[in-house]
Structure 1
């Protein structure tokens, strides 16, 4: 076993590097499939309520949310489209016909630069942590996915948060990196380093319980489906179905925090666009109160159907691609061990 690869195999039969490759492939596939859905959604939103200059909106490539700032007058901006869209299907057809099929993946490259590394780190850490906790927790090993799913989320969200803030500033104002560095240094001197992590609170309140519930439900669904179909390893279909179901459950239960997080992101982005240091809202609770006052309790569940339509396939595609990648490398490693033995027996 020690001679089969340059890196030691984990308990699941693959190396950490192979886990990273599997998750990276899954992240790219997920982005390629889900991005067109969000591009069409934003085009429809922009048509119904045109974005004025400096207006912020949230764009998601299936893996992460990203803040975008509208630049008025730029006819080539991907969120502005000619013509009138009668609906989702009509938008797909007209965008492809007028701008070409590549327009459906507008804004994908810069988001992949942030999303793929964070996703690779997250999935690799989850697998390693779950394997370790399963051994240490003994009789309570079934709870390992709950804790293993929550912890990597904190690290990934914390690392990405300042980068997202910097990207928003670059979008909002045409400035050099030297000017940006000066701006960030000034903000840190006046408000402290914590100013780079504005909006992290509602992000963690949404993402940590989402990840915990997602992985816990996913492992249960996967195990039961494997037992039902009498298979030791999950097939692509089993992983896909388990990912879609567990993602849907987690998405519904964490929707209020997603609404708060989106509102907070947009408000912060518009603050930076206007060079305003005034706090629009000071806490997650205050944002919730304001949403309820403006739109009622149902306002906390705004965007229920779009979120479900986006999250379910994204989770399904990501996890099934990841599991397929792991199965491929596991088989490759096993064949690599057996190949010398087979050659010896036949010689």
Structure 2
């Protein structure tokens, strides 16, 4: 029905010959119209259509009000679409024309930059990529010369130079250069390493010129130079002139030590100028016959000159054989005919000394000063004589003026007499010799003393100052200690009660009973006080025991010390002496009383208590063995106060040059001597106190005060 109505009405709706296809909405509406009665179609349907039209109109108005901007924009876009589509078509046409060209370019790029192709840009890029992946390794390689230079600088500035790390770094760089000889980077690093090693060689050679070079430091430096400077290392090559080319390091060592000696002697230039002026003045105004005045400036210059010459020449002669042994170790050459340079080196330096004496010694007019200088020269000759370089006979050729033979004979006789003069007990003498030399060997010290002209007497050299120091020191120490302990006992109620009960029970000691702290402080103070009072005798005793000084008498020694160093010279090393003796004495008294107490409990009241003071002191000297380090320091300061300025400076120099072991030189000798002397001293002291108290009680009828 709806279809028929649609066909009937379609010509009226569309005047065209072709009618549009039926719409489902229109067909549905026509079907609803056909179902309604005619009256309803005439009355209700027009109203319904009018209402629907009005509703649609309102909806369109609301929509246009709400979305008019969007509609306008859509309209404009729709209008521009007509212009964009032709442009798009044109672009597509151009793209179709360009695509073949792009394809040709891509094919050409792929062919040109293929991995199998040989292209410089590609190689450069590969190199850059390889460098970026290994940038850390390259940076480490570039840092090797800087690290090597800093290691060398650090080792050179430290007190104990150690170039082992620098040598390891240099070996690593050499190994890299061997593995990569064509690398310019590795070659540059190797070149910088060579410059750093040249600086290290300069530092090592400069270290051989230090004034107080020791054997261990010299051997260590020579061993490093053998690795750093292989050109100086013995190679066994023989030159055309027959001279061996295997003594470079030995010659270098002698040259450095000779340069050091010359520099130290040149430092005496102000004194030499004064001596020259004095010599010229004496030549212009000759002294009267028999006059021995004048020459004070020349004496000062010669004394310092001979002292420097003796120290340096002895050190050179003593160290050089060991250096040559280290240089030629494992390189025996039976064809070598040239003698060692060391065999002729002493002649050169001795000629320097003899020429200086020949020039300046006649200016010294004072007989005592001349004798002192000649004795010093003879001692210098004796020191070198122990190493095969005695030049004492050459001094007979010096022009000393009139009565040359008599004066020379007298000087030699006096020198031989002083060499065999008594001094101290063997233990104390050996301890001083070991501590002064730094050789750490008792056997070498005994061998050196045994080579003296009067070996038996040399072991007992300096009995007078040693006896004075020991006797007066014991008296002052025990008097001070007894006074302090008695005063401390009087201030302590418990000590007073114990002292009151001492007459009612047997005791192992006549001394008052005090606390450990009081015993420690009293012993330390008494020992420090006694050490200060006896410091002059201690300095004189140590210098007598040393082989560095030769004094004819105690008064002469005191006069020489006062003339050269004044009053402070008699108290040299007091700080180290106090640090050695005060803690030791305090701990000694504490341990002494404790051991007596323990032994008294073991033996009981019925035991013979006179044995206890003998047995008690034996463990005490072994308790504070640390004191020996201060004993070695004290000896060095008292022997060479101009070299070792104070205790801390002496410790630093000894540890730096000779190691920590040098602080304990003479430990066994001192412990043995102190054990014997302490046991005897305390036994005699307590026995004398006991007998004095017994006599006093007998005289007073057995009643205390």
Helix, strand or coil for the counterpart of 1:123?
helix
Shift of the alpha carbon at 1:222?
1.1
**C-alpha contact (below 8 Å) 1:248/1:311 kept by paired residues:** no
Other-structure match for 2:526? 152
TM-score (norm 2): 0.31
What is the alpha-carbon distance in structure 1 between the residues aligned to residue 483 and residue 608 of structure 2?
Answer: 19
Task: Indicate whether 1:118 and 2:473 are aligned.
Answer: yes
Task: Indicate whether 1:322 and 2:685 are aligned.
Answer: yes
Task: Tell me the number of residue pairs that the alignment of Structure 1 and Structure 2 aligns.
Answer: 248
Other-structure match for 1:162? 536
1:30-63, CA deviations, whole angstroms, 9 ceiling, x for partnerless residues?
xxxxxxxxxxxxxxxxxxx9xx92799xxxxxxx
Shift of the alpha carbon at 1:204?
1.0
Q: Flag the structure with larger Rg.
A: 2
- My pick for the range that moved more, 283-292 or 136-145, is 136-145
Match of 2:697 among 330, 334, 338: 334
Cα 1:255–1:183, aligned 2, differ >3 Å: closer, same or farther? Answer: closer
RMSD across aligned C-alpha pairs, in angstroms? 4.2
TM-score (norm 1): 0.59
Other-structure match for 2:674? 311
Cα 1:137–1:297, aligned 2, differ >3 Å: closer, same or farther? Answer: farther
1:66-125, CA deviations, whole angstroms, 9 ceiling, x for partnerless residues?
xxxxx853363347xxxxxxx99xx9xxx9xxx999997664344222321221111011
1:262-304, CA deviations, whole angstroms, 9 ceiling, x for partnerless residues?
2222324xxxxxxxxxx20122112112222233222222222
Task: Indicate whether 1:224 and 2:598 are aligned.
Answer: yes
Other-structure match for 1:184? 562
**C-alpha contact (below 8 Å) 1:134/1:144 kept by paired residues:** no
1:309-344, CA deviations, whole angstroms, 9 ceiling, x for partnerless residues?
11111111111121112222222222223399xxxx
Structure number with higher relative contact order (C-alpha < 8 Å, ≥ 6 residues apart)? 1
Other-structure match for 1:253? 626
What is the alpha-carbon distance in structure 1 between the residues aligned to residue 563 and residue 456 of structure 2?
Answer: 42
1:195-249, CA deviations, whole angstroms, 9 ceiling, x for partnerless residues?
4422211111111111111111111111221232223998232111211111221
**C-alpha contact (below 8 Å) 1:137/1:144 kept by paired residues:** no
**C-alpha contact (below 8 Å) 2:422/2:463 kept by paired residues:** no
Cα 1:322–1:213, aligned 2, differ >3 Å: closer, same or farther? Answer: same
**C-alpha contact (below 8 Å) 1:147/1:212 kept by paired residues:** yes
Task: Indicate whether 1:136 and 2:491 are aligned.
Answer: yes
Unaligned runs of 5+ in 2: 1-317, 319-377, 384-413, 424-441, 496-513
What is the alpha-carbon distance in structure 2 between the residues aligned to residue 146 and residue 176 of structure 1?
Answer: 35
Shift of the alpha carbon at 1:182?
9.4
What is the alpha-carbon distance in structure 2 between the residues aligned to residue 123 and residue 324 of structure 1?
Answer: 13
What is the alpha-carbon distance in structure 2 between the residues aligned to residue 330 and residue 257 of structure 1?
Answer: 38
Cα 1:254–1:221, aligned 2, differ >3 Å: closer, same or farther? Answer: same
